[in-house]
Structure 1
Amino acid sequence: MAEVFRLLTVDDATEYHRVLVDGYAANKEFPISFEATDFTLQQSIDWVKEQPTYGLYVDDQLVSSISLRMPWIGKGTIKGFPHIGHFVTAPQHKGKGYAKKTLAYTEDLLRTVYRTPVVTLGTAAQHPWLQDMYKNMGFVEFKRTQLKGKKHITIFFEKNLI
């Protein structure tokens, strides 16, 4: 089984879009509003162009992806450090440890290439298992807030990378 973790390009956007939409589809069952849940293909193309987005490929198939919102791109980030977004695993590959591997590759990249001591992410307080998953991955909650236009309370987490 060959594994490759790499930066996605526009050529990967269609496959990324499929993983994103399929992976986020279950969120429609909960009172949450993740924008990526309803992304169009064009939005996925634009996202990959604008945000560093990485994918874990297993046997040439994208199984998990993660994006990094950088503090110097667009609207910035909550604490001035890179912020994880669109962290998703294709439904048919859940439970195989690919999310943990994707995060481990990302953390190594953040430490060695971007040289950042901290990474943040946000999730919905109403999601039934994401909070526990992030806590188990070493993230610590630092803020809860109701963001404008969201159905849910957002919990912000951070993780020390040094």
Structure 2
Amino acid sequence: MASLIQVARETDAEEVFDLLQRAYAAVKEFDIRFTILQGTVEKVRAVIATETVLLLRREGRAVATVTIRMPWEQDDNAPVHLPFIHWFAVDPDFKRQGYGTEILTWAEQHLLADTLKAPAVYLATAIRHPWLSNIYQNRGYQPFFWRTNPLGEEMVFLRKSLSVSAAIPERT
């Protein structure tokens, strides 16, 4: 059965919250403090109401999610005025099966580049996380800003260009 990517609705809040908690639980062993680990279903419901939360479903089950916070939804402390990948997670039962790549690529290319014509996107991750920064850099993201989150975790912000400049033909 093929995957289905859809925009989450308020009724999906508990399922999204559960997916995020299960996926981010793995960082507890590294003592990394991501704010979603202190989140609530109500916080997820509020994010669904104001941001674009995508769900990738396989046989009806949410197996991956990515949240896009648009520039007009960000506060004045945002390092740039571009779409921001807020939450990105894959259900631990479905890791290493390509679902994370599928939903992130769909968000970057279909939603942001093709539909919204966004020139770039950015995200943040903990500097101390042993592999996330490398994964994002392998996807074309480059570090450009550093800040500490409200829980005291040092974060690196990475940006990826989405626009592909077509070569301008020379006059003959």
Following superposition, the deviation at residue 146 of structure 1 comes to: 2.7
CA distance in 2, matches of 1:3, 1:49: 24
Superposed displacement of residue 143, structure 1: 1.8
Structure 1 regions of 5+ residues with no counterpart? none
* 2:7–2:53 contact (8 Å) kept in structure 1: yes
Instruction: State the Cα distance separating 1:74 from its structure 2 match.
Output: 4.3
Q: Offset at 1:152?
A: 2.1
User: What is residue 91 of structure 1 aligned with on the other side?
Assistant: 92
Counterpart check, 1:80 vs 2:50: no
CA–CA distance in structure 1, aligned partners of residues 9 and 160 of structure 2? 27
Q: For structure 2, which runs of at least 5 residues remain unmatched after alignment?
A: 164-172
What TM-score do the two structures reach when normalised by structure 1? 0.93
Structure 1 partner of 2:153: 152
Equivalent pairs: percent with the same residue? 30
Residue 72 of structure 1 aligns to a residue whose secondary structure is helix
Question: What is the TM-score with the length of structure 2 in the denominator?
Answer: 0.88
Number of positions where the alignment pairs a residue of Structure 1 with one of Structure 2: 161
CA contact (8 A) 1:32 1:151 kept: no
The CA RMSD over aligned residues, in Å, is 1.3
Give the aligned residue type for 2:105.
A
- 1:104 deviation in Å? 0.8
Deviation at 1:3, TM superposition (A): 0.9
Deviations 1:107-134 (A, max 9, x none): 1210122110100000000111111111
Q: 2:22 maps to which residue?
A: 22
The equivalent of 2:136 in structure 1 is 134
Highest CA radius of gyration, 1 or 2? 2
Q: Which residue identity is paired with 1:25?
A: A
